Chain A
Amino acid sequence: MAMMLMINADKCTGCRNCELACSMAHEGVFRPDATRVHVYTWEREGFSVPMMCQHCRDAPCITVCTPHALTRDPTSGWVDLDDAKCIGCKMCVQACPFGNAIWDAVSHTVLKCDYCGGDPSCAKFCPTTAIEWVDDLIATRTRKRAFSEKFKHAFSE
């Protein structure tokens, strides 16, 4: 069984508790600028989306990481970042298709989600399950079922 962070943007209220939990877990302070998860809010439409590393199977950040600071853990399948090997070249920041490898201009380091070692703080502090730490098999099935329900409504009307 593998675990993943499932993002349910439709449930996100834009409260940013995830950012606070993430920065406290990793930095020991509340600093939303230094978090591995960021919530973007479109104020006019009132819609918010949490963004964080998806631990891609074919990860562009690993491909471009010359000093091999970014590697795939063979057991968990997660993309790990070894700060000691990172030279701060920011190639990963440029390569990530989602902007989820972050350069912190204050600490001059790359910040990237590490799933908090298997107990992600963001999911723990999310008040609405917009971010969920779930079995990847169940997660995708649940998502599919939710969409199938929309079809059901559409066609049964």
Chain B
Amino acid sequence: MHGWIGKVLRVNLSTGKVSTERLDPAVARDYLGARGLGVKIMTDEVDPKVDPLSPDNKLVFVPGPLTGSYAPSAGRYTVVTKGALTGAIASANSGGVWGPELKFAGYDALICEGAAPKPVYLWIRNQKVELRDASHLWGKDVPDTTDAIRAETDDDAKIACIGPAGENRVFFAAIMNDLHRAAGRSGTGAVMGSKNLKAVAVVGTGAVTCADPKTFERAVMKARDMIQKHPVGGAGLRLYGTNVLTNILNQVGGYPTKNFQDAHFPNADKIGGETLAATLLQRPKGCFACIISCGRVTKITNAKYAGEGEGPEYETAWGFGGDCYVDDLEAVTKANFYCNEYGMDTISMSATVACAMELYEKGLITREDTGGIALEFGNAEAMVEVTRLTGIGEGFGKRLGLGSYRLAESCGHPELSMTVKRQEIPAYDARAVQGIGLNYATANGGAAHVRGYTISPEVLGVPFKVDKDTIDGKPALVILFQNLTAALDSTGSCLFATFGIGADELAEMLSAVTGVAYTTEDFMKCGDRIWNLERQFNLAAGFTTQDDTLPSRLLHEPIKTGNSQGMLSRLPEMLPAYYELRGWDTDGIPTPAKLGELGLAA
């Protein structure tokens, strides 16, 4: 095979058995890799009703067919599992250099099943695969774990691991790779912790081959050119990172503040990408094969928050910033460093702090509960401290580790959790931007911006401009973006490549590297297939149309200030049309005709 290696590595952590299997070319063709292949493996092998933290759940690490090639910004891998936070199918993708290394070691996927009786880490050097004792690493943070494993394996080993948060089953714990990159959402790290798997260290010296190098080079050069000439992909992201969005979203009145009590933050510029570039930014950084380099290498010299690392991204700056009503960029960046070091998703962590701040504001959490911390909106020091406590699993941090839904529920007010399927909503207000709300409500892994990023057309005008306020045409737009993204994720490409290229270019590169001819329609159909398979997993897990909704605040409490004042999400008007266009019945169940069209079993 070209593009794909043709081999899957399976590790049973309960028995210690390691085996390899051939990758079925028909499965590879239809599900591509990364997210798609991972979802296929999960649906084939795991009962959707399992407890996510039980040994019966599996944890699959999957690079894509473009991963390891020089397709621009296509060096990613996806972690697929049943999410600890959500109980839904979870797919969290990450950049850095770990994913390509797994391919160079000779694998299209790594399936971890069962649970080890005591802490272990997996050490992969090409065909040599061994489980090693990790008792001495348990409790260590991500940088220290990385250093320690390198010292006992190989200085060049690429490490994906969990920090204390994953060990402590923080519901939104992340798997971190290459220190600063996260397969962040839905609690992938908690699943890894439940398996007593501390880390996967990889050295790969093999090759990824290409079916038609000449055609591939031409397609890659064309795609690079399109991204480099794009104002966002070519310049904006490298200069200011994703945090360039802060001022843009605040300007349109779609920047949630105080746990979505409003959607405008007067001090947004103080924590935006332009300010970051002028203060803490050391240099931009790129993931494997990236030509965009949105990564932010940052350093805080102020003794109060001293540290170095990467970030914050837009979502992180918003969560620890506007959502907590904090305008101190150093505090926001420090909280980001803690998340990276202890291994936590910055979106769910920060949104849970914001939720806790509202519970505190309403007297539902007291100073006694917080251990003396005045958890008020705008209290930067308190925000940083409770983030640290969550990371190390102490004090009030233990309750924050539940995530906002379980926390608010424990206070008798689940409606104050800004979540869909128990996953925290990210940094775009669904009342101000109609399409993104429909995407949050229907995204299979729970609320996520990266499943159908309609912010591109609705706010940025990329690749075409759509009125953010209207609901006309939004169901079709959301489906288009969701299907495209499902296919794109499954190649190993970064979503940011779409700031320049689209399905045509991705299909072209994919065809040249694999030797399997994909038309744009074939490619989009892969996305549709993957989306529907995820849906089937969730339905079998017990999710219903009742779960395709938004917090009542976004449906009933209008935005108070800013340029989207007075607006509400009109989700109930869009959802029926979405189901119909998806080929689903009124209960949100794919029809036999739709499943037949996609080659999926009922």
Contacts and interface: CB of A to CB of B under 8 A. Distances in A.
A73 interface: no
B456 interface: no
Given A13-B286, A17-B70, 5 more contacts: A15-B291, A16-B97, A20-B70, A24-B213, A32-B104
A21 B228 contact: no
A46 interface: yes
Interface stretch (B133-141, B188-196, B277-285, B358-366): B277-285
B351 interface: no
Interface in B130-160: 143, 146
B284 A13 contact: yes
B288 A15 contact: yes
Interface residues of A, number: 30
Interface string B306-333: 0011100000000000000000000000
Contacts of A17: 70, 289-291
A123 B70 CA distance: 14
B298 to A, nearest CB: 8
A30 B308 contact: no
B520 interface: no
Contacts of B70: 17, 20-21, 24, 30, 125
13 contacts: A10-B283, A13-B285, A13-B293, A15-B286, A29-B209, A30-B68, A31-B104, A32-B100, A43-B178, A44-B143, A44-B308, A45-B308, A46-B180
What are the 4 closest A-B residue pairs judged by CB atoms, nearest first? A46-B297, A15-B286, A13-B286, A127-B291
Interface string A27-45: 1111111100000010111
Contacts of B204: 33
B208 A31 contact: yes
Interface string A63-106: 00000000000000000000000000000000000000000011
B561 interface: no
A46 B143 CA distance: 13
B164 interface: no
Contacts of B308: 44-46
B426 interface: no
Given A15-B288, A24-B70, A43-B179, A31 B206 contact: yes
Nearest to B206: A31
Nearest to B146: A43
Interface string B192-214: 00000000000011111110010
A87 B346 CA distance: 54
B287 interface: yes
Nearest to B203: A33
A50 interface: no
B205 A105 contact: yes
A30 B207 contact: yes
A20 B69 contact: yes
A75 B297 CA distance: 43
Contacts of A31: 104, 205-208
Contact of A24 (B104, B210, B295): B210
Interface residues of B, number: 38
A29 B206 CA distance: 10
Nearest to A21: B70
Given A16-B97, A43-B180, A45-B308, A29 B208 contact: yes
Interface in B202-260: 204-210, 213, 217, 224, 228
A14 B146 CA distance: 18
A14 B285 contact: yes
A77 to B, nearest CB: 29
A140 interface: no
B142 to A, nearest CB: 10
Interface of B: 68-70, 97, 100, 104, 143, 146, 178-180, 204-210, 213, 217, 224, 228, 282-291, 293, 295, 297, 308-310
A142 interface: no
A108 to B, nearest CB: 13
B2 to A, nearest CB: 10
Contacts of B217: 24
A32 B70 CA distance: 11
A14 B69 contact: no
A16 B104 contact: no
Contacts of B290: 13, 15, 17, 127
Interface of A: 10, 13-17, 20-21, 23-24, 27-34, 41, 43-48, 105-106, 125, 127-128
B105 to A, nearest CB: 10
A45 B69 CA distance: 26
A20 B217 CA distance: 11
A24 B228 CA distance: 22
Contacts of A105: 205
A32 B207 CA distance: 8
Contacts of A21: 70
B341 to A, nearest CB: 11
Contacts of B68: 30
Contacts of A20: 69-70, 289
Contacts of B205: 31, 33, 105-106
A47 B179 CA distance: 13
Nearest to B220: A125
A15 B288 CA distance: 5
Contacts of B208: 29-31
A128 B206 CA distance: 27
Nearest to B291: A127
B285 A29 contact: no
Contacts of B179: 43-44
Contacts of A27: 207
Contacts of B289: 15-17, 20
Nearest to A23: B207
A28 to B, nearest CB: 6
Contacts of A30: 68-70, 207-210
B283 A46 contact: yes
Given A30-B208, A43-B146, A14 B286 contact: yes
Contact of A33 (B104, B143, B146): B104
Q: From B70, B100, B285, B310, name the one whose CB has the most chain A CB atoms within 10 angstroms.
A: B70
Nearest to B179: A43
A34 B104 CA distance: 11
A127 B206 contact: no
A46 B285 contact: yes
B146 A127 contact: no
Nearest to A32: B104
**In this complex, which of B69, B178, B217, B286 has the most chain A Cβ atoms within 10 angstroms of its Cβ?**
B286
A46 B328 CA distance: 23
B228 A29 contact: no
A120 to B, nearest CB: 15
Contacts of A43: 146, 178-180
B207 A15 contact: no
Contacts of A46: 180, 282-283, 285, 295, 297, 308-310
